Structure 1
Amino acid sequence: MSKTKKIILFIVEGITDEMSLSLILSKLIDGSNVQFHVINQDITADFNSNSQNIIRKIDNELKKFLAQNNGLKKTDIKEIIHLVDTDGAFIKEDFILEDSQKLKTFYTTNSIVTNKRNLIIERNERKAGILNKLYQTSHIGRIGYKVYFFSCNLEHVLHNSQNAKCDDKCLYSYRFVDKYIGHEKEFIDFLSEGEFATPGDYKESWQFIKEDFNSLNRFCNFHLYFKS
């Protein structure tokens, strides 16, 4: 791995997040070495995560990335960009509906339907607290940090599929990359000009996503990264 360029480290939940974005972002971001660290879980929804320990847990993920890439140090990292799903974390619990027939939690634009309502209520309460903590955090491990959201999830924003099946996610990723490789600036236009682009600056976008059903609907503030 080249050490001549500082690394911009993108922390993402799953491999299809990396598949969809890594090559496009590598083409768009000049002067830096774009790297992805896939956590293979939603660290903001994990039942062992809370607003008190989330910074330490992300710092641990940073250490894992460095350990996996022998010779790298924290000083090699220019900034950490954390991409998260909102999963309806900010809606009122009245709109989390119990349905014992549902095998998987199902998201709509105004409700979460699940066979484990109490667990989802508890998850949302913790996740909302964690996201509130993260968007107000500017550094982790002395490295600049920002968190950007895809609502209700990345597939919802990029592919307009709110409840994408696992088998479909890879196919969506391949198609998305095929569409924008060689046309990377159109990707920025897609993020910036789509109806899902949140209004306002970074902090205002986080206030926006907490309102009403916005954390269930198709919104994203990642376009702000390119403005900065």
Structure 2
Amino acid sequence: MKSRKVILFIVEGVSDKNSLALILSRLLKNEKIEFHVIHGDITTRTDTTIQNCIKKVNTEIIKFLNTNRFKRSDILRIVHLVDTDGAYIDDKLIKEHNTDKFIYTTENILTSNISKAIDRNNRKSKILNKLWSVSSINKTEYRMYYFSCNLEHVLHNEQNLDHNLKDKYSDDFVEHYYGKEDKFLEFINNSEFSVKGNYNETWNFIKQGKNSLNRYCNLNIYFKEYYDNEKEIIE
């Protein structure tokens, strides 16, 4: 039997992997599903720039290959899942607040350091724009999909979930949808947060107004393309 090709999902945190890995492996049965956890946001790292962001992603791919003893030719496609974190909002929507971290609402980003938040958004939005416009990295198909303003916002409607609760929420999510993956597809594809349109249109949408703060996701586009392709193969 021919070995299945790998779909590599690149995610920011362990809770992202815990929430999605088992469900996706049951949905995408014709390929082998693997996750690589970056442990942070590659688009906001101080050493990531618009000039080197593709190289930074490729470095993470190489880390995965070396750690798991896969070859580049084993990878069918790379699916990069990112949080938008309100990166595209107008600077005037960043408000001063007595806090040691960024607090997200559907209207504003609250922070004690407005200039730092503005700089973060400026760099992150440019890097996101660069990455979502790329169709391949080192000759491997690449697509980037977003959770806005973060994964917990989309999956749980919790915009500022306490870090200590992430494991519990991810476990509950898997328990809710395990064995009911069709319900997960319904949730991702047909919820109010499911952005309609093609890949480019969904990215243009999230850049408008306060959308990168609000609860939106375009992962539904990936499933539509995947199952449309499967249908074509069968036919």
Q: What TM-score does the superposition give when structure 2 sets the normalisation length?
A: 0.94
Q: How far 1:3 moved relative to its partner?
A: 8.2
| 1:146 pairs with 2:143 | yes
Q: Quick one: which of 173, 178, 185 aligns to 1:176?
A: 173
Q: Quick one: which of 113, 118, 121 aligns to 1:121?
A: 118
- Distance, in Å, in 2 between the alignment partners of 1:3 and 1:142 is 22
What pairs with 1:47-86 in structure 2 (closer than 5 Å)? Answer: 47-70=46-69, 72-86=70-84
- Distance, in Å, in 2 between the alignment partners of 1:6 and 1:68 is 17
Q: Secondary structure at the match of 1:128?
A: helix
What pairs with 1:90-129 in structure 2 (closer than 5 Å)? Answer: 90-99=88-97, 101-129=98-126
- The range that moved more, 118-127 or 148-157, is 118-127
* Structure 1 unaligned blocks of 5 or more: none
Cα deviation code 1:101-154 (max 9, x no counterpart): 212210000100001211111010011001111111000111000000000000
Q: Secondary structure at the match of 1:45?
A: coil
- Distance, in Å, in 1 between the alignment partners of 2:208 and 2:196 is 13
Tell me the amino acid that sits aligned with residue 168 of structure 2.
Answer: L
Q: How far 1:227 moved relative to its partner?
A: 0.4
Residue 217 (structure 2) aligns with: 220
- Distance, in Å, in 1 between the alignment partners of 2:68 and 2:207 is 37
How many residue pairs end up in the alignment? 225
- Distance, in Å, in 2 between the alignment partners of 1:227 and 1:27 is 16
- Distance, in Å, in 1 between the alignment partners of 2:167 and 2:133 is 32
- Distance, in Å, in 2 between the alignment partners of 1:146 and 1:109 is 26
- Distance, in Å, in 2 between the alignment partners of 1:5 and 1:117 is 48
Identity %: 49
- Distance, in Å, in 2 between the alignment partners of 1:103 and 1:63 is 34
- The range that moved more, 112-121 or 9-18, is 112-121
- The range that moved more, 46-55 or 214-223, is 46-55
- Distance, in Å, in 2 between the alignment partners of 1:20 and 1:9 is 15
Q: How far 1:199 moved relative to its partner?
A: 1.9
Q: What TM-score does the superposition give when structure 1 sets the normalisation length?
A: 0.97
Tell me the amino acid that sits aligned with residue 203 of structure 1.
Answer: N
| 1:210 pairs with 2:227 | no
What pairs with 1:11-50 in structure 2 (closer than 5 Å)? Answer: 11-50=10-49
- The range that moved more, 75-84 or 115-124, is 115-124
- Distance, in Å, in 2 between the alignment partners of 1:5 and 1:127 is 35
The 4+ residue runs of structure 1 with deviation greater than 3 A are: none
- RMSD over aligned Cα atoms: 1.1
Cα deviation code 1:61-91 (max 9, x no counterpart): 0000011012x21000000000000000000
- The range that moved more, 40-49 or 151-160, is 40-49
- Distance, in Å, in 2 between the alignment partners of 1:187 and 1:118 is 39
- Distance, in Å, in 1 between the alignment partners of 2:101 and 2:124 is 19
* Structure 2 unaligned blocks of 5 or more: 226-235
